[in-house]
Amino acid sequence: MFSKVLIANRGEIALRVVRACKELGLKTVGVFSDPDANLLHLRFVDQKVALGGNSAVETYLNIPKIVRACEITGADAVHPGYGFLAENATFAEELEKRGIAFIGPGPDVLRKMKNKLQAKRLMHEAGVPVIPGSLEPVKTFADAHDIAREIGYPLLLKACLGGGGRGIRVIASEDDLKKSFDSARREAQVAFGSEELYIEKLIDRARHIEVQILADRFGNVIHVGERECSLQRRRQKILEEAPATGLSPTLRAKILDAAVRAAKALGYATCGTFEFLVTPEGNFYFMELNARIQVEHPVTEEISGVDLVREQIRLAAGEELAFRQEDIILRGHAIEMRINAEDPEKRFAPSPGRIVQFEIPRGPGIRVDSHCYSGYTVPPHYDSLIAKLIVWDMSREFAIRRSREALRSFFVEGIATTIPFHLRILSHPDFLEGNLHTRFVEEVWQEGVKGGDAQR
């Protein structure tokens, strides 16, 4: 096991990792930017290192600074959290060269999965269903045109090195393809350092289902159930559930099995999530692997009783899985609502600033993961997430009821938040019926605009 873990992140996930490390008896190091000098997790770490600077590029994305912080403090492991350097193969390599453990998969796996097309090919070779489209980079418009004629419009033109919802264009027609192909290549080169593109069929009104995987370095792989992640805005999730509602037992078993097979084919180790698109007809396709802890991991923890962050650290230290598949028993239903500093009335524009009052809901089945407090100033430099409200109950119906009451007891004054919009979602007839798809959030927001009230 490690002796000292540096947390190369900020916000609620940094606090979550500190707690897991403390439970394992590990010393911790926090790093911080200038605006983050008063972050909550820094009160609990054993050592702190100022990175100097404001932007993510100057600080949490700055590999030399973070490596130097490890050397100064004697940290023998780094937990990257999510975002920032969590899936950066170069960072993992730099740590490996210095004998510092990266709490995640190895650089080889990270490199394979960074290239979305390469990842798709690997899954195809492993017998995992993939979205119809190209399995090689599309280099010319003529090639793109041929593939488009084969799979049909609408389709997606994607950057091979894209990610996080970026580097994707929706193409509705041949004319769209003509107009977009060359500019998409140029944009991919600027944004990701590679002009390579690939094409996929656009699957409309699909569901986004992901499977939580735990794997050790001895070839043992288990799943910890699936999550419903269809509620997204600009391809970024805002509400997640576990388990996914409305999946037949047969379809659920196929998706879970595909994720385990995929992890084994990759030789994957530690904690990861395999994402799938599920069509209204019941077909499913691999979308991508998130080789890190997910923002939405708490819903899985609530229904399984498994501390995923603690297990991630154990597995990265080379320990064996503490569970067999038959040990994983899922119970009840959990919902996570991402509380963002955004204004739904202004198309979810960021709402940084000073929080005058921050009062969280409490009670049975209610969990809040947050780094915020009354008097905290939300900086404009980073992600807008200020809290995750996680609610558990024995059934989805009662989890929804409990979620609504918890939201009504969540007071954040001084900035705009997405709390009112979550209340709107949780009262929507289609949400209550489980009629979910990846365009659901945009449609609910548009309904509010047409009704003259995007918040109620």
Query: Which residues are tagged catalytic?
Result: 292
Alpha-carbon distance of 169 to 321, in angstroms, equals: 40
Whether the Cβ atoms of residue 26 and residue 2 lie closer than 8 Å to each other: yes
DSSP structure class, residue 321: P
Q: Helix crossing, 11-23 with 308-316: angle to 10°? A: 70
Distance of CA 263 to the CA centre of its chain: 18
Whether the Cβ atoms of residue 51 and residue 11 lie closer than 8 Å to each other: no
Q: What dihedral do alpha carbons 275, 281, 282, 285 form, nearest 10°?
A: -30
Provide the terminal-to-terminal Cα distance of the chain, rounded to the nearest Å.
Answer: 50
Alpha-carbon distance of 378 to 372, in angstroms, equals: 8
Alpha-carbon distance of 97 to 6, in angstroms, equals: 17
From the list 294, 323, 297, 319, the residue with the least C-alpha distance to 221 is 323
The helix/strand/coil state of 139 is: coil
DSSP state string for 146-159: HHHHHH-SSEEEEE
DSSP state string for 261-277: HHHHHHT--EEEEEEEE
DSSP state string for 68-102: HHHHHHT-SEEE--SSTTTT-HHHHHHHHHTTPEE
155-163 sheet: strands from edge to edge: 166-171, 155-163, 197-201
The helix/strand/coil state of 51 is: coil
Question: Which residues on adjacent β-strands are paired with residue 212?
Answer: 273
| Assigned token pair, 314 | 């154990």
Whether the Cβ atoms of residue 349 and residue 343 lie closer than 8 Å to each other: yes
Q: Residue 175 class from Cβ within 10 Å (0-12 exposed, 13-18 middle, 19+ buried)?
A: exposed
Give the angle subtended at the CA of 256 by the CAs of 253 and 259, to the nearest 5°. Answer: 145
Q: Residue 5 class from Cβ within 10 Å (0-12 exposed, 13-18 middle, 19+ buried)?
A: buried
Give the angle subtended at the CA of 111 by the CAs of 165 and 54, to the nearest 5°. Answer: 60
